[in-house]
Copies of this chain bind each other. A is one copy, B any other.
């Protein structure tokens, strides 16, 4: 599915289609690999947890409750039928491309239509019960060499430990995601700071204890294989605040900060994170520009991550100024930027990663991880950034089964792009082959410090 390739593109794709998969950033559940239990029913597999899927159904007037979302009782077969009845809504979207890959290549079931929904449901359910469709078996079949999850700074990482202890041959590493203890806008911020004290044994009432606790948590993550941190922010803002001002600000933001105080504190803490990276070597990721939970009724009823996160315009140059001018020339730092504002690809990000030694540009993210999104990314980025300032690919998915589909879509996009470049005589086929390999796995390994 996706991209019928011919000529040079087909030739390049041939050379990378079977390369192992590195998944250095994503949202898979580590318990899958720790427990190796079978995946639940087809609705749980393909509809209920996938915000790409249910947002589209919701946009066409289907209540989320009818999809089994929000803790209601539901009949998985009925949910799957609704999905099949509305399968045409996904025409033209990468979700359809990915799910077709899962259905027809990974699971090998019949063509999905409203009429075949029942049969396909049974076929999927039967497969999920087979040993070769358990998480660890699929991990191996997919040819994954390592997979990073994304975990709260407060997480005990027990599943990662179990996964390591089980010695089944897979590599599941955590990623340090401390937003909950850095961002005063998080409703649980103050409670999280207290929980941070518990898990670290530090007195997080003082700024010093708080910073020490963070350093310690990072080392804990690193001890379980983590090579990276991850940070999410709506509006990019960084700002260095001197200690005399920071200590009282830290005390204030714990209870009812003003928006400005919250932004300033978080903006400072991002620089602290970058500085800690100089010491512990964790690669820093910044995902910016998503306005979260824009539908208040949905947030109240169903919680976060329910398809109402919408991108906004992002200003990278001024927003990162303070961070970059503090640590951006230090060769020890790697900071990977992810944007949802494609207008910044050519305008800001490509020139920035083409100058600052610490910066790398992440692959097309979220809505832009698609055939046209990938083409726009290369078109806008490469001429200024070159290839070696890119971070390669990551699938960023919480749908484990879609991983091969997403990497395949990327690889086809890489082949299509490089063939275009060869055709424009930017370089020849031999250089294109080297670049194809870099974009498939080399750059990701190097950028995330996950060399096998």
CB within 8 Å of B: which residues of A? 1-4, 55-56, 58-61, 88-94, 96-97, 291, 294-298, 307-313, 315, 317-318, 321, 324-325, 328-329, 331, 340-343, 346-348, 350-357, 359, 367-368, 370-373, 376, 379-380, 382-384, 386-389, 421, 423-427, 431, 434-435
Contacts and interface: CB of A to CB of B under 8 A. Distances in A.
Contacts of A389: 59-60
A70 B430 CA distance: 36
A56 B373 CA distance: 25
A352 B310 contact: yes
A145 to B, nearest CB: 24
B317 A386 contact: no
A351 B310 contact: yes
Given A56-B354, A59-B353, A60-B357, A312 B96 contact: no
Interface centre among A321, A341, A425 (most CB of B within 10 A): A425
16 contacts: A1-B426, A3-B424, A4-B423, A59-B353, A59-B389, A61-B331, A61-B357, A90-B386, A93-B382, A93-B384, A310-B348, A312-B347, A341-B347, A346-B368, A367-B384, A371-B383
Nearest to A368: B346
A55 B372 CA distance: 29
A340 B297 CA distance: 30
A356 to B, nearest CB: 6
Contacts of A329: 295, 297-298
A296 to B, nearest CB: 5
A92 B331 CA distance: 24
A313 B315 contact: yes
B348 A311 contact: yes
Nearest to A417: B92
